[in-house]
Each structure stands twice: as C-alpha cells, then as structure tokens.
Structure 1
Amino acid sequence: MSIKEVIRLFGPAWIVMMADVDAASVLTGVANGQEYGYRLIWLLLLLSIPLYIIQEAAGRLGAVNNGKGLGEIIRERYSGKIALLASLSMFVVDVFTYIVEYVGIAVGGLVLGIPPYITLPIFFVFHLVIISTRKYEKIEKFLLPISLLLAVAFVLQAMLRGIVNGENVLYFSPSKSFTFLVAANIGAVIMPFMIFYQTSATSYKYQNVESSIETKIKWSSIETLIGAIVSELIMVAIEMATTGISPSVDPLNYKEISYALSLVSGPFSPYIFGIGLICAAFLALIVESLGSAWGTLEALGKNSFNNFILLYISESIPALVITLLFTNNYDNVVNFALTLMSIAPFIVVIPCVLIGMLVKDKNLMMNYAYGRTRMLVYWITVAMILIGGILAVI
C-alpha cells in the first residue's frame, strides 16, 4: 500500500468517527467530567473496541461493493421493505439528532458572543452549500478541515486545563446511577447514521480509486481503527478539560460554562470550547444528513439530487425552527430530544444485523467475507449494544 493510495483512500472512516463526537457527546463528556472527573476514562477507551468492530464491517462492505450504498445493497439482496425498515427508522431518530446539533451550534456561538439568530441561519446555508456539492470527494474537502479543527480544539482545551492530580482513573461502582451511565454509554456508542454513512461514503469514494479490493479493505480497516481510537481520546480530552467544574454548572448555559472554563483553564478557554462545540455539531449535522438521505433514497431506489435536497430540507428546517423558537429553553429542548433519541440503540440493531448478514455472504463479499470467529465477535458486540440500550431505558 503506497502513500499515494492512502491519500486517495483516506476520508470516509475518519470523518464518520469524528462525527461520533457530536454535540450530544460533547455535552455528555462535559457532564461526565463534572460528575466523575477521570473515573470514566477507562470506559471511554474501551468503547473504541465496539465502535471499531461495527464500523469496520460497514467500511468493508462499502470497500467491496464499489458505487453501491448500504440502502441499495440491502434492497438488492433482500427487499425494498427491509431496506426501508432500516433507513426510515434512522430517519426518524435523525430529526431529533438535528435538534441537538443545532442547539450545540447555538450554544457554541453564544460562547463566542454571536447570537443564535445569526449563527443558525449562517450554518444552515453553509450546510446546504456543502451537501449540494454533487461529488463526494468535494464534500470531503469541507469535512476534513472541520474534523481536524474539532480534534485540535478539544485537545488544546485539555492541555490548557492541565492534569488534575489525585484523580482516580480505575473506578467502578455497583450503584444504579453509575451502572446506568455505563449502560447508556455502551448503548449510544454507535448511531444509525454512522453505519449508513461509512458504507455509502466508502463505496462512493473507493469506486474512483484504482487499487485492489484487498488494499481498499486493508486501509478502510486501519483508518477505522485510527478513527475509533482518536474519537474516544477526544472524549477523554473533553472529560479531562471539565474535571473540577461544579456539577451545578449547566453546559447549555453559555454564561455559566464560559465562567467555569475561565476559572479552571484561563480566559481563552471558553472560546476554544465554543469553536470545538460548533465544529462537533456542524460536522455531525452534515454526516447525519448525508447518511440519512443516502440510506432512505437508496432504499427507495430514488437517489436523485432533487430528492436528496428535498429530504434534507424536510428534516433540517423543523429542527432549525425549533432551535430558534426555544432559545431560552435549551435544557428542555435537548432533554426532550435526547429522551426520544434513547431508542437509537434499538434502531441501530436493525442495520447492524443486516450488515452482519451481508459481510458473511460469500456471494456478495467473495474472499473477503467474515469467518466464524469474526462473526462471533461481531454478534457479541451487537448484543452488548442492545443490552446497553435496554438497561439504559429501564
């Protein structure tokens, strides 16, 4: 595998992994740091394992099936109804995910001193411009710098905070609140849009790269592993950066979080946090919209540009309007959205099961199908995600 091949193949896995650090994840990381300090670092690092296992299978499927997204593959191998079951359920969850991302952009803007009625329309238009780009490779040119800025912002945030001495990093409690938090993190480690995005983006990009399937699969796996580790390290950085901040500080209240960050990390810290939060929310917003639209339209067999824009607008505008109308009630809006998003672990199991069936299909995957051992590991991981979701809900 040459450096030139790596450069041409790089992108889909990295971007989707960075999008996993969305606004909801950032806010969760802040709350974890406030409440538990360094005590959840072990969990965040372990979560890179199931994240890698599921997304590696999605990337492998895309690497083998050049030019075909997940919705199209499911429709061709099984039926349109099954493809719609997997994609439309994701579409419903993404509507509420959009709300959280727009709230993240609004709060990040407020930290920087920019009101929501300016930031939200600007990023809505910017979002529309990016997804209106018809070639995936051109879309990536916008997404890669945003993903890098996201990573740099939160790592710098943690560096400004510095190491807090005396923090326990090996911690577990049988208490109901702690086990609930562990289960919720396991259940939410994979979102439905991530699976659809990685398969489709990998397929669309790799079809234009003249490399062997073996090389494509190998790089997709490596990039997925790197992305999984880095995304969880960013979550560790967020948790470390907010350690020592009082649990009473509301991360959705820009005045409270700005003041708290200034006290522990210096006067520039709030601005860096605001930039990181905006990048996290905006990157996730784009990846969610692409994954959702690709999956749904591929399942319907109507993956045209006009339908793509129409589908995006039908999801995005309601979320934008809600965020603009409830600028003084972000806590209630986010809590409502997160409550409805709690069904995500149950929905993500649908494409996970279908991915598992597809990657072991030798007629589809040829010599690159999973063997028994890898399939066993894969199904155990899917079961863990489902159990985590069930425990979090009950």
Structure 2
Amino acid sequence: MKKFGPALLVTAAFIGPGTVTTATLAGGSYGYALVWALVFSAIATFVLQEMASRLGLVTGKGLAEAIRGQFSGISQLLVIGLVVSAIGIGNAAYQAGNLTGAALGLSAISKIELTIWVWILAAVSTGLLISGKYKVIEIALIALVFLMSLVFVITMIMAGPDLSALMTGLVSFSVPSGSTLMIIALVGTTVVPYNLFLHASIVAKQTKSDNLQQSVFDNRIDTGLSVGLGSLITLAILSCAATAFFATQTQVETSNIAHQLTPLLGNYANFFFASGLFAAGLTSAITAPLAAAYAVSGAMNWPTQLDNKRFKAIWLTVMIAGVVFASLGIKPLAAILFAQATNGLLLPVIAVFLIVALNNRALMGEYKNGIFSNTLGGAIVVFVSALGLYKLISLFF
C-alpha cells in the first residue's frame, strides 16, 4: 500500500454513480463491443492525471494557477473564461449526476421520491463542506465504494465473462449504431476534467521531498496503480451488465439495474447496490464542488482556503446548479449519462491547457513533457475532439 497515494482519492472520485450507471448501460446495451473505449479511457486517464500531478509536484501550484501563468493580456482573460466556464458547466452537470445517482440508490430502498432525496443529499453535502469535517465521513464513504467494487469484481468472476467476446471487443474498435454518445460518456466518466485540478492541488499541498526525481517516480507509480484499480472496477461493472442484460436481451431500467449482482448477493442485491450508489454519489457530491472551487479560484487568482467567502460561493453555486438540474424531472439514467458525455466533450479544452503548461521549460524544468508524453496527450485530444465533433454533426445531418 506504500505505493498508493493521492491518486487513490481520484479513483474513489471517478468511481461514482456515473461510472456505475454508464458502464452498466454500455455493457447492457452493447455487450463487450466497447471494451476498447474503456481501455482507451484508462490510458488517457493515466497520461493526463500523471501530467497534472507532476505539474503540482514540481511547481507547488494547482493546475488553474499554472494555466493562468502561461498567458497574459487578452489571451489570459480568454483562457480564464474558458477554464471557468468549462469547469463550471462540467461540474454542474457532473454534480447533477452525483446527486441523482445517490438519490436513485436511496429511493430504490425507500418510499421517498427521488427529487426529495436529491434535496436532502444536497443539504447533507453542503453541511459537511461548511463544517470542514467532511474528510472523516469521506473516508468511510470511500470504504463503502471499494466494498461495492469488490462485490462487482467477485460477481464478474462468478458470472463467468465471455473472454472471447471481451478480447474481440478489446481489439475490434467497433462503433455500434447509436453508441457514439456512450463512448463519449465512457471517456467522460473515467477521464474527469475536474480530477485533473483536484489531483494537481492535492499533490501541490504535500510536503516536498528532498529527492524530487524519486517523488515524480513514486507519483507515476501511484497514478498507474490507482487508475488501473479504477479501470478494473469499471470493466467488472461492464462485464456484469453484459452477462446479466445483453446476453439475455434484457433492457436496462432504473428498476432492474441491481439485477446484475443477483448471482452473488441474491435477494440482498438491490439493497447493496442502493447503498453503494448512495456512498459513491455522496463522496463525489462533496468532491466535485470542491474541485470546481479550487479550479475557478486558481484561475481568478483568488484565495483557495475553505473559509474564504469567494471559495465558498463557488462550490455553493455548483451545488445549487446540480440540485436544479437533478430536479428537472429528467430520467435518472439519462441524466447521469448526459453528465458523463458533457465531461467527455469538455475534456479537450482542459487537456490542451494542461499540455501547454507541461511544455513550458521555465515552469517544469527538466520535468517538462517529452516527445512520448506529447504524442500520447495530442492523440487523446484529437480522438476525443473527433468524437465530440462527430456527435455534434450527427445531430444536424
């Protein structure tokens, strides 16, 4: 466990309701056909999170502060506007998915309506953020999320995934009819833009080691192990859904989403799945507004202390926007899928700024990006941008 560090919190943040529902819908609707997209997402997550955390480790700055420092004059104002709008819009959508997912779990085991649970969960999250004691509860919730993850992995093994179909899905790079939005959502639920800001800020606040080279190496190992663990969990969820829904031609619905855990948990599947969604949703509902506050405050050159009024105003705005979006009456699974797709569409904007910062020798010194990192990062930006552009064009033609 010594090699695990800050990146484990990032993993816990992206294994939220969005990951559970999106991977379930992907497996239930397309079987193993989109496994390649999952693997791409894992590689993209590692590449970008490693860049962001390396920046925080080397410079002692968050991603937003570093991006701001790369520009001046009108260009700086434009960049600040893009960062603020991208993270603001993205986190508002993501927050709606967090609250909806957690409420979905609670409404499944109670007679209280989903919208009421959304407001209750928002109030709890707001109270925890204001008190400053949310970290203690977050640790307990992360433990519940990983317990749920363990169950998915065991269930996948018990269900006996179709290894031949899985390998075919890994190398076929197929895009089934109507799956473009799902692919973008799979990317968006794994490579979460706000996690880039969160990871850089967490690492930047750590006590610096005398051996920076070793710290950078350890950070890379931490990121690889943590992202690998999160990707395994996502693959387990997709596999369970492929076996429970796609193989039996059963439509994934809000009422039967826990059905995939029946082989292991039997009659307790619904309760356990609901508890896991609640834990995952509340953890992410705390993290997303915080990350937005760090990003926007850094971009605006404002203080990033928890007790700062501007800092509080930012995360509270994201919280309120999430409640409003989650209360509009949109179908729960559709709302969560939309949130993940929004993240996927916003990712190229943040990734470009990150790569620009990592290529600044004055900022990064000998730890600036090399040709290999730039090639991978550029390929990720091009691929995700092409997906988003294709989806937008398909809406009109």
Q: Same fold (TM over 0.5)?
A: yes
Question: Which range is displaced more, 239-248 or 378-387?
Answer: 239-248
Q: Distance in 2 between matches of 1:343 and 1:119?
A: 24
Preserved contact between residue 38 and residue 240 of structure 1 (Cα < 8 Å): yes
Deviations 1:349-385 (CA, angstroms, capped at 9, x unpaired): 2221111111121111112112223222221222222
Preserved contact between residue 22 and residue 337 of structure 2 (Cα < 8 Å): no
Residue 156 of structure 1 pairs with residue 155 of structure 2: no
Which structure 1 segments of 5+ residues have no match? none
Preserved contact between residue 93 and residue 342 of structure 2 (Cα < 8 Å): no
Q: Which residue of 2 aligns with 1:112?
A: 109
Residue 21 of structure 1 pairs with residue 24 of structure 2: no
Preserved contact between residue 188 and residue 340 of structure 2 (Cα < 8 Å): no
Q: Which residue of 2 aligns with 1:194?
A: 195
TM-score (norm 1): 0.83
Q: Distance in 2 between matches of 1:314 and 1:48?
A: 31
Residue 306 of structure 1 pairs with residue 343 of structure 2: no
Equivalent residues in 2 for 1:315-354, closer than 5 Å: 315-323=318-326, 325=327, 329-331=329-331, 335=334, 338-339=337-338, 342-354=341-353
The 3 A distance-change label for structure 1 pair 370 and 180 is same
Residue 53 of structure 1 pairs with residue 47 of structure 2: yes
**CA offset at residue 233 of structure 1?**
0.8
Preserved contact between residue 87 and residue 292 of structure 2 (Cα < 8 Å): yes
**CA offset at residue 165 of structure 1?**
5.9
Preserved contact between residue 21 and residue 333 of structure 2 (Cα < 8 Å): no
- Of 108, 125, 128 in structure 1, the residue corresponding to residue 126 of structure 2 is 128
Q: Distance in 2 between matches of 1:335 and 1:192?
A: 20
Q: Which residue of 2 aligns with 1:279?
A: 279
Residue 266 of structure 1 pairs with residue 266 of structure 2: yes
Preserved contact between residue 104 and residue 274 of structure 2 (Cα < 8 Å): yes
Residue 234 of structure 1 pairs with residue 228 of structure 2: no
Number of residue pairs matched by the alignment: 376
Q: Which residue of 2 aligns with 1:373?
A: 372
Q: Distance in 1 between matches of 2:355 and 2:54?
A: 11
- Of 68, 88, 92 in structure 2, the residue corresponding to residue 91 of structure 1 is 88
Deviations 1:90-140 (CA, angstroms, capped at 9, x unpaired): 101221221111110111112333634774455334423443466xxx765
SS of 2:178's equivalent? helix
Residue 176 of structure 1 pairs with residue 167 of structure 2: no
Q: Distance in 1 between matches of 2:282 and 2:250?
A: 27
Deviations 1:169-225 (CA, angstroms, capped at 9, x unpaired): 123446433566445534664232121111112112x2x354432233222211111
Tell me how large the CA RMSD over aligned residues is: 3.1
Q: Distance in 1 between matches of 2:342 and 2:121?
A: 28
**CA offset at residue 388 of structure 1?**
2.6
Q: Which residue of 1 aligns with 2:297?
A: 297
**Structure 1 counterpart of 2:28, one-letter code:** Q
Q: Distance in 2 between matches of 1:178 and 1:314?
A: 33
Q: Distance in 2 between matches of 1:222 and 1:114?
A: 45
**Structure 1 counterpart of 2:10, one-letter code:** V
TM-score (norm 2): 0.83
Q: Distance in 2 between matches of 1:322 and 1:88?
A: 17
The 3 A distance-change label for structure 1 pair 35 and 343 is closer
- Of 134, 139, 142 in structure 2, the residue corresponding to residue 147 of structure 1 is 142
Q: Distance in 2 between matches of 1:345 and 1:45?
A: 15
The 3 A distance-change label for structure 1 pair 120 and 342 is closer
SS of 1:113's equivalent? coil
Preserved contact between residue 49 and residue 196 of structure 2 (Cα < 8 Å): yes
- Of 252, 255, 264 in structure 1, the residue corresponding to residue 254 of structure 2 is 252
Q: Among all aligned residue pairs of Structure 1 and Structure 2, give the percentage whose two residues are the same amino acid.
A: 19
Q: Distance in 2 between matches of 1:133 and 1:354?
A: 33
